[in-house]
Structure 1
Amino acid sequence: MTITQLQYVLAVAEHKNFTLAAEKCFVTQPTLSMQIQKIEDELSILIFDRSKKPIQLTEIGQKIVNQAKNIVNEANRIKDIVEQQKGFIGGEFRLGIIPTIMPTLLPMFLNNFIKKYPKIKLIIEELNTDEIITRLKNGHLDAAIAATPLMEEKIKEVVLYFEPFVAYIPESHPTFHKSEIDVDDLNLDEILLLQDGHCFRDGILNLCKSSDLQNDTNHFRIESGSFETLIKLADEGLGTTLLPYLHTLDLPEKAKLKLRHFKEPKPAREVSLIFPKTELKIHIIDALRATIAGVIKGAIVFQNVEIISPIPKK
């Protein structure tokens, strides 16, 4: 059997369809099917149960797929070893970033990174945390930037910085006169939230120690995918909201007057560079971490913080 054949097996196992797997592997469907058939003939077993729709792995097929992942990863590691020995930092690198980090952090480091490492073809995708975890496990991302800790057994986390939560409070709100606020000043029923699927939303719910969003006295309930929308609604006196610290830096001066920081220890999210524990392309990951660390240290210097988990409480 060959590495290429194992890659075909992994593609079918992921997509559960021979035609789609062939498209992803850039080969014809008969070619892919023939190569998988060769492995099955060589081993005298069936990897896939073709009678089911979608195609399913057999019991022995699942074990083979698990081992195939290890073999393909180790084969890719050989390329890493050679590139590191040559001092070459280049090639394609796929990076995922969650939506509440992408708009603020990416402009801070991207220009520096591509100038310093022009041989790297950086492919960046905005993805939510669940999508990032899935793609890292399936080998479709090399690394990602997300709020942590995530408690994923096969994923390594390297902390980049701690980013405090900052309250945005309209002038009509009772706590507007306070220079700093406590978590106890928050009322979950009046906080304007990001829509479901954003880990920053889950952090706010964890901070408030509640997941009950229902309130019969409210005339409306809104969840948005945009901080800008939440800020405009707060300006209309329709509630308060919480923002990540970096997002507050570019607000107009008039809007900054409505920002209120929490008393120490400030509730904050931990932002990390995450990647599979196989550490493939670790030389590029290290280069990315160093670049981000170089630009972020002047922007965020908070130390006395309390990390709020991005994992939703059950």
Structure 2
Amino acid sequence: MEMNKLLYFITIIEEKTYTAAAEKLLISQPSLSAAIKKLEKEVGLPLLDRSKKGVQLTKVGKLLYEEAKRLVLHHEQVSNEMIRLKKEGPLKLSIGIIESSKVWFPRVLTQLKLEHENVFIKLLEVLSLQDVEHSLYNFEVDLAITNQYVNHKHIETIPLYDEKLVALLPYDHKLERKNFITVRDLQDENFIISEKGFQTREDILKAFSKSGVRPNIHFEIGRLETACDLVEEGLGISVVPENYVKHIQHRAIRYKRIHDPNVMRTVYLIYDKKRYNSPIVMRTIELITNNFKTIHHSKSL
């Protein structure tokens, strides 16, 4: 399949009409229509349902659209990388991160900048599973640090470390005075939890379920920072990654470790192993994995 035909096909779907697509592609409408018919002939099946009003995809068309979009994006990325190498322009890197990774990730960035002084780094917070998958599949990030396990044949998922989840309490809360707390101690508290789609939510609910209790959920939030704000105001308690509380500056907040082996989560490094990954991407992956190899080795000594 020719790349320009795939591009024409994608543009028709996204612009919704042949007229708008032809204008965007700077070609005539008859030429565009002829290219799509040639593509259908090459595939051997209809891609557009012409019995319906407007641009409607067949089942085969939907499948080709998703794969064609990835191919075109991949082609553009490789082409841009070749142009960059030819011109020796600045290196670029886009990384998805979760909030708790801020406690260690700057060390990796420092090492990367020492090796590649001119690299331009874009950091995006990709929190929910939908965020992670969308950012990878649409080439918005080169790699991501996440607590989401992405089950896809094209995605390489590397476990980095397990981190404990801790109870976040308002200042002078009654639980702060206990020597240790359990999940059962949290069951009657006004609970602040991540919204649906976040793996941390699932980890917390699973821990509660195994202890035979149900959290008294009063607030659902999208960011750990919001949970901290609500706890600081005395509106409830929350459970957050221990690494995250190491860098927050809220003075009216305390945290307690929870004596329960189920209250933890796994953090992963993920990237698309089927796309072209530049040397700077692969070096970043190496720096991240080596960082945790070093930590695990030092702990075992």
TM-score, normalised on structure 1? 0.68
Name the structure 1 match of 2:129: 129
Structure 2 distance, partners of 1:174, 1:164, is 22
Equivalent AA in structure 1 for residue 270 of structure 2: I
Q: CA deviation at 1:269?
A: 1.7
Cα distance change of structure 1 residues 185 and 214 upon mapping to structure 2, 3 Å threshold: closer
Name the structure 2 match of 1:164: 164
Residues 83-232 of structure 1 mapped to structure 2, 5 A cutoff: 91-98=91-98, 100-101=99-100, 104=103, 106-118=105-117, 120-127=119-126, 128-170=128-170, 172-187=172-187, 189-209=189-209, 221-232=218-229
Cα distance change of structure 1 residues 186 and 38 upon mapping to structure 2, 3 Å threshold: same
Structure 1 distance, partners of 2:187, 2:97, is 30
Q: CA deviation at 1:115?
A: 4.0
- Asked if structure 1 preserves the Cα contact closer than 8 Å seen for 2:78 and 2:276, the reply is no
Q: CA deviation at 1:46?
A: 4.4
**Aligned with 1:192: secondary structure?**
strand
Structure 2 distance, partners of 1:155, 1:288, is 16
Q: CA deviation at 1:178?
A: 2.9
Name the structure 2 match of 1:240: 237
Structure 1 distance, partners of 2:140, 2:6, is 16
Name the structure 2 match of 1:309: none
Structure 2 distance, partners of 1:253, 1:136, is 33
- Asked if structure 1 preserves the Cα contact closer than 8 Å seen for 2:203 and 2:263, the reply is no
**Aligned with 1:238: secondary structure?**
coil
Identity of aligned residues (%): 23
* Aligned partner (choices 22, 32, 38) of residue 35 of structure 2: 38
Structure 2 distance, partners of 1:302, 1:163, is 17
Q: CA deviation at 1:96?
A: 2.8
Q: CA deviation at 1:165?
A: 0.7
- Asked if structure 1 preserves the Cα contact closer than 8 Å seen for 2:165 and 2:264, the reply is yes
Cα distance change of structure 1 residues 101 and 259 upon mapping to structure 2, 3 Å threshold: closer
Structure 2 distance, partners of 1:91, 1:16, is 32
Structure 1 distance, partners of 2:277, 2:139, is 12
Structure 2 distance, partners of 1:213, 1:16, is 46
Cα distance change of structure 1 residues 28 and 266 upon mapping to structure 2, 3 Å threshold: same
Q: CA deviation at 1:273?
A: 1.6
1:17 aligns with 2:39: no
Equivalent AA in structure 2 for residue 227 of structure 1: L
- Asked if structure 1 preserves the Cα contact closer than 8 Å seen for 2:195 and 2:221, the reply is yes
Q: CA deviation at 1:259?
A: 1.8
* Aligned partner (choices 285, 288, 293) of residue 284 of structure 2: 288
Structure 2 unmatched ranges of 5 or more? none
Aligned length: 291
Name the structure 1 match of 2:256: 260
RMSD: 4.6
Structure 1 unmatched ranges of 5 or more? 216-220, 304-314
Name the structure 2 match of 1:312: none
Encode CA deviations 1:188-211: one digit per residue, 9 max, x unaligned.
752222444543333322322299
Equivalent AA in structure 2 for residue 61 of structure 1: G
Q: CA deviation at 1:124?
A: 3.2
**Aligned with 1:57: secondary structure?**
coil
TM-score, normalised on structure 2? 0.70
Q: CA deviation at 1:3?
A: 2.1
Structure 2 distance, partners of 1:171, 1:133, is 38
Equivalent AA in structure 2 for residue 276 of structure 1: D
Name the structure 2 match of 1:308: none
Name the structure 2 match of 1:58: 58
Equivalent AA in structure 1 for residue 235 of structure 2: L
Q: CA deviation at 1:130?
A: 0.5
- Asked if structure 2 preserves the Cα contact closer than 8 Å seen for 1:73 and 1:280, the reply is no
Equivalent AA in structure 2 for residue 262 of structure 1: I
